[in-house]
């Protein structure tokens, strides 16, 4: 039963919609850690507290959708 619960973890799609040119260094590092490089690039990540915290830090640069 535990394996079935782990297999159904929620996923989110994170898309970079604004440039990181005029951003702080830690914001750029968060965007890079999320796996985003260019505008309109996206990454599908697990929905957990760590990912949500990183997204909250750069919420003005990214768009989040549930998959």
Average pLDDT, the chain: 93
- Whether residue 2 is predicted with pLDDT greater than 70 in this model: the reply is no
CA distance 13 to 45: 6
pLDDT band at 1; cut points 50, 70, 90? low
Residues in the chain: 67
Domains of the chain, residue spans: 24-67
Rg from Cα positions in the chain: 13
Q: What is the pLDDT of residue 8?
A: 78
pLDDT of 6 higher than 90: no
CATH code linked to domain 24-67: 3.30.1390.20
Distance, in Å, from the CA atom of 43 to the CA atom of 17, rounded to the nearest integer, reads 12
Taking residues 56-64, what's their average pLDDT?
98
- What mean pLDDT is predicted for residues 25-48? 97
Q: Write out the two tokens for 46.
A: 């697990």
């Amino acid at each position: 039963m535990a394996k079935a619960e782990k297999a159904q973890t929620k996923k989110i799609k994170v898309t970079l919609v604004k440039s990181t040119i005029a951003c702080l260094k830690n914001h750029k590092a968060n965007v890079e850690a999320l796996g985003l490089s260019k505008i309109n690039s996206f990454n599908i990540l697990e929905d957990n507290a760590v990912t949500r915290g990183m997204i909250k830090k750069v919420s003005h640069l990214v768009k989040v959708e549930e998959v």
